Structure 1
Amino acid sequence: MDAFSEMNALSESDFSISESVKSYPTFASMGLKDNLLKGIYAYGFEKPSLIQQKTIKQIIHGRDVIAQAQSGTGKTATFSIGTLQNILPEIRQIQVLILAPTRELAVQIHHVISSLSDYLSVRCVVCCGGRNNTIQMARELDKGVHVVVGTPGRVLELLRQGNIRLGKLRSLVLDEADEMLNRGLRDQLEEIYRRLPSHISSDNKTSLDCQIVIVSATMPTEHLELFRNFTSNPVRVLVPKDELTLAGLQQFYIDVGSEEWKFEALNDLFSSVCVSQTVVFVNTRRKVEWLASQLAREGFTVAAAHGDLDQTQRESVMKQFRSGECRILISSDMWARGIDVQTVGLVVNFDLPMNNISEYLHRIGRSARFGRTGLAVSFIANAEERKQLLEICNYYQIAIPPAPARLDKMLVTNNSVQESPKTVNQLSKSNASDSHLHQIVKQSRHKKRKHKKKNKKRMNIVN
């Protein structure tokens, strides 16, 4: 069975739905256009995930939707399929506008839309900072497009210049809506909202002429209240916070004891676990470059991704990683939501996210995509990181155990680890003797003791 058909990792009871909503167990039962179905099957989908079963038809019916579900459950395909079904190809004007917080995510959405609409006469363009220039984008838009995907800043600029016209808009989609607010984009979103087509109803109230679809992996209460104000009688499909820990993804930590031993622990991890592709997250641009350089010296094929790369460089990095030309991607949080590569089997938090706990979810969600099995391993080296790991456990109400002796087996099965997971309180009492991997780290320290000063100097460069 294709892995795309196994995305239905969440059960019916995991969802909180604001009203009775019919489920559609197959794409064919949704009454989709034949050529859209061809695109869906060609992309690799066989069976809709649970959020797709519940939500796609609501979008097709023109309802406003607020949807929250974990990474890897098919949120992008949900709004893509729903909005593509409603497009009238003969009208070569913008009918769908999709906003994303980052260039990387906008490009990824554009890729999904273009693939799913491969057999449709639908034209989609991406508008975001750093990609071509405004004049080139304006020329593309003037040729007539049906779907625009972009970042709020660039879309608003093109709106103000009159290059983007929304008179025929049918759907506005806000993807990773919480992140757009976290990035201070509320004013831009509200101005775009005010420019949407509308009319005065019989009761003298302004009503929008398009639907609003809001999707995200996380949705804090304060954000949810704001988006309710954006929508009219929305269907709300929400997954409780404690369910957002990614079925099929095993999570562990390794206490390396000291910052200077993280690199050796990473080497040991790679030698004990065989995966197709890995994403390693660190917290600074300098450490991205440093770690990529160190791994390259060890003979690994590595790519580095951070916010200072220009668009051409970013696309080159992702092309290398998607094609398998490089098997390890070192990344900052800038890319935590824009990496959608199905073969990622391992995510390593070389550094834990220290400023935003929700980034932990988005990081580890790069693995176990579409129902596949994956691993997430976090390194902790000091009291601050131990405290942060406890905060993550408390926030999501989960227990993250120390790495077991045979991590490689975790990639073969979705079964739970046989050792008893540590509770949140026990976690703070754990030490380096908790697992076989910690013993490997100790052995590496002994073998490389004479290089300790050199290694410490290297780490000081990137602190």
Structure 2
Amino acid sequence: MDPLSGEDKKKKRGRPKANVEDLGTRLTKTNAGEDYEEVCIRNVFDRITFQSTGGIKPRIPDADIYLSLPSKLASNLASRDITQLLPTQRYTLTLLVEHDMDVFVGAATGHGKTLAFLIPIAVGLLRSLPRDISSCRRPLALIIANTQVLQVQTYRVCQDLVAGTGLRVVLVCGQTDMMDQKKDIEKGCDIVIATTGRLKQFLKEKQLSLEDLQYYVYDEADKMTQGGAFREDVTEIDTYIPPETKAKLRSCFFTATLDAMGGFEKMYREGKFCLVRVPGNPSITHKIIPIDMENDCDDKKSLILMQLLRRDLIIQGRDTYDTSKETYKHKTVIFVGLKLRCNWLGAYLRMYGFSVGVANGDHSLQMRNTIIKKFCDGEIQALIATDSMARGHDIPDVTHVINYDMADNALDTFKHRAGRTARIGHKGTCTTLLSRSDFLLFDDNPHISINELDPRRKRAKELAHYLVIECGQKIPKCLQKPALNAVKDELSLWGNNVDDPYNWMINEMGLEAHDIVKQEEMEKEKEKRKEMKKEKEENYSLSRPIPPSQQVEENEEKEDVEKKEEEEM
């Protein structure tokens, strides 16, 4: 047999190119939940932080989609049970369309971030003068991100939003047929949704021109601050935008985790910058399970995990080894840190009768899509995944996220993982198995001699701060002392002799930090009452015998007092 030529080898080894329609699952079909209006609109709006360089005071449009949007866009949203704009979407709509501003949006996952840039783009383009787009290669809006899965989702959401408006949307990404994409561009491309690699190729080949660009969106912008290929690609793409186009270009950066600007301010037009910060999702109930060092191993943690999964099954009226064809109404995503552990945990849970699937980078795109589709359709109860699933995936009916492992960049990853549940008005729970050694849980030694901040205490403080300030929840008991001791460490390093570190804790954590003070006072009072109770019991035993009838009355009175004391505590 003749050896294959170099050209044939490439064809042989190359991945099969998928059709765009084959890439998507039901990832974009999450409809608004029952708490959509109350939680996502009323509770969040007043907590938004807004800043601008131009000193503008934007007029925030009405939340009712029929009052704020063109009728066709409104009806398309209503078909997904969305009748009210989220606070993020109301801000971006007025800032991008009415005020011609560049926008940096820091919004926790689950706040409608994708529609927050698609809606103003669609409204702005529909207001533009009509033009012939039958053979146009010059998009008016460009949306870039670093992953194909995220862009496929964005593409489908955009298609649903602009259906019937005449606006054309084109997806430009790798692992899909290039000729099909070129044909789509030839038909017209008002909005291009792209990954950077394929976009660079099309720009070099002059299949696309950015001369007419009006909107430029960087989704998951925090990835740019991490350097690497994505940042280099973005820098190269920027060279294809003419200076005269940049002068009028509205740049939009969207991220769920970036607290600082990360150098993005250099990319904004002078006097045209504004910042919108949206707090964490109040619909997520966070639960922390502290794991002692002796239990910090897969054997013990997997038992805890199975207990959590069994409880989720009981809520649905089911159990393990259930052979019924009924779909799972409540789904669970389990995040682990390593691909090897991901595969092991999947096999382990299946051995005990749990219906689970595994998705990680070792699997082909087709395999991942097959598993995710089964999960979306309710054929399996739980999906075990690495952090490749933590960003961008909008999977319907995920009611529980379990962090089996915490990642190295704990807080950023924690936010993305938790965002897979409680989306657009639905409720959800995020349970985290937290290692005592990694976060100094309960931290009973406040006098550790250090020359710099203990990173474990710092992580505990950051997590506690997020739960209180962003999510409006109380600090879990296991995080209270390490968070407080982290503040004390900072004070000692700064040379500040503060008699009452609790005031600093209150400034750092908000009013909920009073819980720490209150908790310690209650514990002291509880110990005091225990001693008093013990002393009373000793006195009772030494006293003379009491008639049975009187003894019963005194016991009842004693029980009433103890009950009242417990209620007061």
TM over 0.5: yes
Q: Report the equivalent of 1:252.
A: 287
Return the offset for 1:364: 0.9
**Matched letter for residue 171 of structure 2:** V
Checking the alignment, whether the CA contact within 8 Å between 2:113 and 2:254 is kept in structure 1 is yes
For residues 178 and 60 of structure 2, the distance between their equivalents in structure 1, rounded to whole angstroms, comes to: 42
Tell me if 1:393 matches 2:460.
yes
**Matched letter for residue 235 of structure 2:** E
Q: Report the equivalent of 2:392.
A: 338
Checking the alignment, whether the CA contact within 8 Å between 2:109 and 2:256 is kept in structure 1 is yes
Q: Report the equivalent of 2:44.
A: 10
Tell me if 1:378 matches 2:432.
yes
Q: Deviations for 1:97-116, whole angstroms, at most 9, x for unmatched residues?
A: 10112112111111211111
In structure 2, the residue corresponding to 1:99 is in which secondary structure?
strand
Checking the alignment, whether the CA contact within 8 Å between 2:461 and 2:484 is kept in structure 1 is no
For residues 415 and 177 of structure 1, the distance between their equivalents in structure 2, rounded to whole angstroms, comes to: 25
**Matched letter for residue 238 of structure 2:** Y
Return the offset for 1:420: 7.1
| Root mean square deviation, CA, Å | 3.0
113-122 or 21-30: bigger deviation: 21-30
In structure 2, the residue corresponding to 1:247 is in which secondary structure?
coil
The count of residues paired between Structure 1 and Structure 2 equals: 405
Higher helix share: 2
Q: Deviations for 1:322-373, whole angstroms, at most 9, x for unmatched residues?
A: 2222231111111211221241111111110124531111111111211322
Q: Report the equivalent of 1:229.
A: 267
**Matched letter for residue 424 of structure 1:** Q
Checking the alignment, whether the CA contact within 8 Å between 2:288 and 2:433 is kept in structure 1 is yes
Checking the alignment, whether the CA contact within 8 Å between 1:399 and 1:421 is kept in structure 2 is no
Which one has the largest radius of gyration?
A: 2
For residues 320 and 354 of structure 1, the distance between their equivalents in structure 2, rounded to whole angstroms, comes to: 30
Return the offset for 1:233: 3.2
For residues 420 and 283 of structure 1, the distance between their equivalents in structure 2, rounded to whole angstroms, comes to: 23
Q: Deviations for 1:47-100, whole angstroms, at most 9, x for unmatched residues?
A: 111111222122223422111111111111111111111225754242211011
Checking the alignment, whether the CA contact within 8 Å between 1:340 and 1:366 is kept in structure 2 is yes
Task: Provide closer, same or farther for how the CA distance between residues 247 and 400 of structure 1 changes in structure 2, counting only shifts above 3 A.
Answer: closer
Checking the alignment, whether the CA contact within 8 Å between 1:380 and 1:386 is kept in structure 2 is no
Q: Report the equivalent of 2:29.
A: none
Q: Report the equivalent of 1:261.
A: 300
Q: TM-score, normalised by structure 1?
A: 0.79
Checking the alignment, whether the CA contact within 8 Å between 1:95 and 1:171 is kept in structure 2 is yes
- Superposed, 1:236-247 pairs within 5 Å as 236-239=274-277, 243-244=279-280, 246-247=281-282
Return the offset for 1:46: 1.4
Q: Which consecutive unaligned segments of at least 5 residues does structure 1 have?
A: 200-205, 402-413, 430-463
Tell me if 1:101 matches 2:174.
no
419-428 or 52-61: bigger deviation: 419-428
Q: Report the equivalent of 1:285.
A: 339
Q: Report the equivalent of 2:157.
A: 112
Task: Provide closer, same or farther for how the CA distance between residues 142 and 296 of structure 1 changes in structure 2, counting only shifts above 3 A.
Answer: farther
Q: Report the equivalent of 2:182.
A: 138
Q: Report the equivalent of 2:353.
A: 299
For residues 160 and 376 of structure 1, the distance between their equivalents in structure 2, rounded to whole angstroms, comes to: 45
The alignment-based identity, stated in percent, is: 23
Tell me if 1:321 matches 2:375.
yes
Return the offset for 1:183: 5.4
Q: Report the equivalent of 2:256.
A: 217
Return the offset for 1:207: 4.3
In structure 1, the residue corresponding to 2:433 is in which secondary structure?
strand
Task: Provide closer, same or farther for how the CA distance between residues 295 and 120 of structure 1 changes in structure 2, counting only shifts above 3 A.
Answer: farther
Checking the alignment, whether the CA contact within 8 Å between 1:38 and 1:119 is kept in structure 2 is no
Tell me if 1:190 matches 2:228.
no
Q: 1:40 aligns with which of 62, 69, 77?
A: 77
Q: 1:150 aligns with which of 194, 197, 205?
A: 194
363-372 or 29-38: bigger deviation: 29-38
**Matched letter for residue 353 of structure 1:** A
In structure 2, the residue corresponding to 1:60 is in which secondary structure?
helix
Q: Deviations for 1:130-180, whole angstroms, at most 9, x for unmatched residues?
A: 2x1434432332232222112222212221121222233221111110123
Task: Provide closer, same or farther for how the CA distance between residues 118 and 127 of structure 1 changes in structure 2, counting only shifts above 3 A.
Answer: same
**Matched letter for residue 275 of structure 2:** V
For residues 107 and 208 of structure 2, the distance between their equivalents in structure 1, rounded to whole angstroms, comes to: 30
Q: Which consecutive unaligned segments of at least 5 residues does structure 2 have?
A: 1-32, 317-329, 442-454, 486-569
In structure 1, the residue corresponding to 2:286 is in which secondary structure?
strand
Q: TM-score, normalised by structure 2?
A: 0.65
**Matched letter for residue 141 of structure 2:** V
Tell me if 1:353 matches 2:390.
no
Q: 1:424 aligns with which of 480, 491, 506?
A: 480
Q: 1:168 aligns with which of 178, 191, 212?
A: 212
For residues 368 and 302 of structure 2, the distance between their equivalents in structure 1, rounded to whole angstroms, comes to: 25
Task: Provide closer, same or farther for how the CA distance between residues 153 and 233 of structure 1 changes in structure 2, counting only shifts above 3 A.
Answer: farther
